[in-house]
Amino acid sequence: MFNAFGVVWVVLLFGPFLQVVDMLLPGDPWLDTEQARLVAIPTHIAAFHTIFNVLNTAVMLPLIGPLERVARGLVPASESDKDGRALQYISTPLMATPELAITAARSEVERMAAIVSRMLHDVRDGLTLDPKALPETIARIVEDENTTDFLELEINAFLAALTHGTLSTASNREAISLLSMINDLERMGDHCEKLARILGRKTATDAMFTTDGDAELQAMAAKAIEVVDAMKALISNAGADPIPAARRREEELDALRSEYRQAHVERLTRGDCTPSAGILFSDMLTSFEKLGDHAFNVVEATVGLK
pLDDT at res. 152 = 94
Residue 298 contacts residue 113 (beta carbons within 8 Å): yes
Residue 254: name the closest of 295, 219, 289 by CA: 289
| Residues 230, 128 share a domain | yes
Domain of 23 in residue numbering reads as: 2-74
Mean pLDDT, residues 206-227: 92
| Residues 249, 132 share a domain | yes
- Highest mean pLDDT pick, 35-39, 42-46, 289-293: 289-293
| Residues 55, 108 share a domain | no
| Residues 90, 68 share a domain | no
For residue 94, pLDDT over 70 is answered with: no
Q: Which of 54, 74, 94 is the last residue of a domain?
A: 74
| Residues 199, 136 share a domain | yes
Please classify residue 69 by burial: count the beta carbons closer than 10 Å to its beta carbon, then call 0-12 exposed, 13-18 middle and 19+ buried. exposed
Query: Residue 111: enclosing H or E segment and its boundaries?
Result: helix 98-126
Mean pLDDT, residues 111-128: 94
Please state which of the ranges 172-176, 183-187, 217-221, 253-257 shows the lowest mean pLDDT.
172-176
This prediction's pTM: 0.72
Residue 84 contacts residue 146 (beta carbons within 8 Å): no
For residue 11, pLDDT over 60 is answered with: yes
| Residues 191, 153 share a domain | yes
Mean pLDDT, residues 243-247: 93
Q: Report the C-alpha gap between 71 and 75 in whole angstroms.
A: 6
Residue 131 is part of a domain; what is its CATH number?
1.20.58.220
Higher-scoring residue by pLDDT: 249, 92: 249
| Residues 32, 124 share a domain | no
Please state which of the ranges 34-38, 69-73, 100-104, 275-279 shows the lowest mean pLDDT.
34-38
| Residues 261, 148 share a domain | yes
pLDDT at res. 208 = 84
Q: Which of 74, 108, 126 is the last residue of a domain?
A: 74
Please state which of the ranges 115-119, 176-180, 235-239, 263-267 shows the lowest mean pLDDT.
235-239
Q: Report the C-alpha gap between 70 and 64 in whole angstroms.
A: 10
Say which amino acid occupies 279. I
> Could you report the per-residue pLDDT of 156-201, keeping only the tens digit for each?
988 888 877 667 788 888 889 999 999 999 999 999 999 999 999 9
| Residues 102, 15 share a domain | no
| Residues 270, 125 share a domain | yes
Q: Report the C-alpha gap between 192 and 287 in whole angstroms.
A: 8
Structurally, how many domains does the chain consist of?
2
CA 64, chain centre distance (Å): 24
- Torsions phi, psi for 177 (to 5 deg): -65, -40
Residues 6+ apart with CB under 8 A from 20: 51
Query: Residue 50: enclosing H or E segment and its boundaries?
Result: helix 41-60
| Residues 201, 135 share a domain | yes
Q: Which of 19, 39, 74 is the last residue of a domain?
A: 74
| Residues 95, 58 share a domain | no
